[in-house]
A and B are shown apart, each in its own frame.
Chain A
Amino acid sequence: MKTVEGLYYSESHEWVKVDGEVAIIGITDFAQKAMGDIVYVDMPEVDDEVTAEEEFGAVESVKAASDLISPVSGTVTEINEALEDESGLLNQDPYDNWIIKVQMSEPEELDRLMDADAYAAFCAQQ
């Protein structure tokens, strides 16, 4: 399983890359492997509010739907429209292909997330 240094990770297997006050959010390699072939990504719309630890969309594989849980609170500024036609990008490179960007309202929420090492240890116990 692959992790990337410098990202924040949630227990529900999302990653966050911080760019100033913007959180770039995607799913981890562990998540895409567990789900298998991803066929559809249900994303929010720009300007939607998201709340930390609450569902903001879903990733659908052939066999099941998995909720996307937001690691931070804020306002959606951008969605990755490439995923609308090619959701399999999340299988190919889950760290290169983000899902949404969020203008954070409470950046301190990042402190509740794990770093790459802690996340790798967390996954090893799953």
Chain B
Amino acid sequence: MEDLLKTCLYDRHEALKAQMSPFGGFIMPIQYSNIVEEHQAVRQKAGMFDVSHMGEIFVSGTDAEAFINHIFTNDIRIMPAGKIQYGMMLYPDGGVVDDLLVYKLAEPDHYLLVVNAANIAKDEEWIRSQSSGYEVCIDNQSDRWGEVALQGPDAERIAVEVLGLENARDLAFYTFTETSWNGAPILLSRTGYTGEDGFEFYAAPEVIVALWDKLMENGVTPCGLGCRDTLRFEVGLPLYGHELSAEISPIEAGLSMFVKTDKEEFIGHDSILRQKTEGTARKLVGIELTEKAIPRAGYPVECDGEVIGEVTTGYQSISTGKYVCMALINRAYAETGRPVSVRVRKKTFAGVICKKRFYDKNYKK
């Protein structure tokens, strides 16, 4: 455990007696009270997450736009300052280096890339290795930033009333503003990973600790990575390493709307174009079991006694009570309504292919 990194909020988690576990190279809180209560707090009121483990890589320079568009699947050329895009960095074969957010900062030619904790070092190396010939500065500031996510239907009211961030009210989804809180610079972003309305705050570690304390004092429920996963899963959001990876392309994962093949060029373009036109062998689907059993990541999906794929994430959905999973399966079996089964230990349980969104998103703006 001594090699694990601690976030700026580690002492707070210890004081709250959170159950801690390694995640992406960090020692992170999995739960404070229990996953169900924390999950429901986010769906019904508001909860807050320490997401300081996420990586912040800044890219700037006269070629920054062209360079990011070269390594990123979405198209940032149409993006005004203050806007955020979701997308991926791909290998030439269409496998995913990472999925990330790109923020276009107010200062011209400056961008912030927010990447997965487990991939920070890999991503930085990848980005640098692709940058020759581009006039860009790549600055990995991950250890200088803390981040807290405030999520849930009450998030806007709390941001305005408790934190005094008036401009939170007018911020549209997937936009941000570089503002200040308690006299310190803070990046206020209307984003999240729960399917609920909410904000993510990026700032220096001591500012993030003060902000966390302020939210705690006002009764916001601290939430661990346990419910972060059950929340994102229910609304069909992918997690790198499960629904996306070097071996799983965004087309297979059903994320083609974030891959702009009409751009003339980006790394992975030709492979993706081929996948889009010829179709992929596999497809990510939802499965709802009609019997009581919990399909977990790695369990085989079967049809007529043959293995046709495997579960990528599965739970008894906390919001609906249903036994559901996302699974990557042979495309021939992927149509909605088709009966399949999932092997859970020694037995198989009947299920049916369904949409991979098990609960509707509740974004406000």
Residues on A facing B (Cβ under 8 Å): 36-37, 39-40, 42, 55, 58, 60, 62-65
Contact = CB atoms under 8 A, between A and B. Distances in A.
A62 to B, nearest CB: 5
Contact of B35 (A42, A58, A60, A62): A62
A42 B230 CA distance: 21
Given A36-B19, A36-B31, A39-B294, A62 B36 contact: yes
Contact of A58 (B36, B230, B345): B345
A64 to B, nearest CB: 7
B316 interface: yes
A72 B30 CA distance: 33
Contacts of A39: 294, 316
A62 B228 CA distance: 12
B223 to A, nearest CB: 13
Given A37-B34, A62-B226, 5 more contacts: A39-B316, A58-B345, A60-B316, A62-B315, A63-B35
A60 B344 CA distance: 11
B318 interface: yes
B294 A40 contact: yes
Contacts, number: 38
A58 B294 CA distance: 11
A87 to B, nearest CB: 11
Contacts of A65: 294, 296, 345
Given A62-B226, A63-B226, A37 B296 contact: no
A-B CB proximity, top 9 nearest? A62-B35, A60-B294, A37-B34, A63-B226, A39-B316, A37-B36, A65-B296, A36-B34, A40-B294
Q: Which of A60, A62, A65 has the most CB of B within 10 A?
A: A62
B122 interface: no
Nearest to B230: A62
A55 B344 CA distance: 13
Nearest to A55: B345
Contact of A42 (B30, B318, B345): B345
Nearest to A60: B294
B292 interface: yes
Contacts of A63: 30, 35, 226, 229-230
Identify whether the interface residues of A are mostly helix, strand, loop, or mixed. strand
B107 to A, nearest CB: 42
A80 to B, nearest CB: 16
Nearest to B323: A40
Contacts of A55: 345
B248 to A, nearest CB: 22
Given A42-B345, A58-B345, A62-B318, A36 B35 contact: yes
Nearest to B315: A62
B294 A36 contact: no
A40 B295 CA distance: 12
Contact of A37 (B35, B292, B294, B345): B35
22 contacts: A36-B35, A36-B226, A37-B34, A37-B36, A39-B294, A40-B316, A42-B293, A42-B344, A42-B345, A55-B345, A58-B345, A60-B294, A60-B316, A62-B34, A62-B35, A62-B36, A62-B230, A62-B315, A62-B316, A63-B230, A64-B296, A65-B345
A36 B35 CA distance: 8
B242 to A, nearest CB: 14
Contacts of B31: 36
Nearest to A57: B345
Interface in B284-305: 292-294, 296
Contacts of B35: 36-37, 62-63
Nearest to B36: A37
Interface string B269-292: 000000000000000000000001
A40 B34 contact: no
A56 B77 CA distance: 58
A61 B300 CA distance: 20
Contacts of B292: 40
A60 B292 CA distance: 12
Contacts of A36: 19, 31, 34-35, 226
A39 B314 CA distance: 14
Contacts of B34: 36-37, 62
A62 B36 CA distance: 8
A78 to B, nearest CB: 20
A36 B37 CA distance: 12
A37 B294 CA distance: 14
A37 B37 CA distance: 10
A52 B293 CA distance: 25
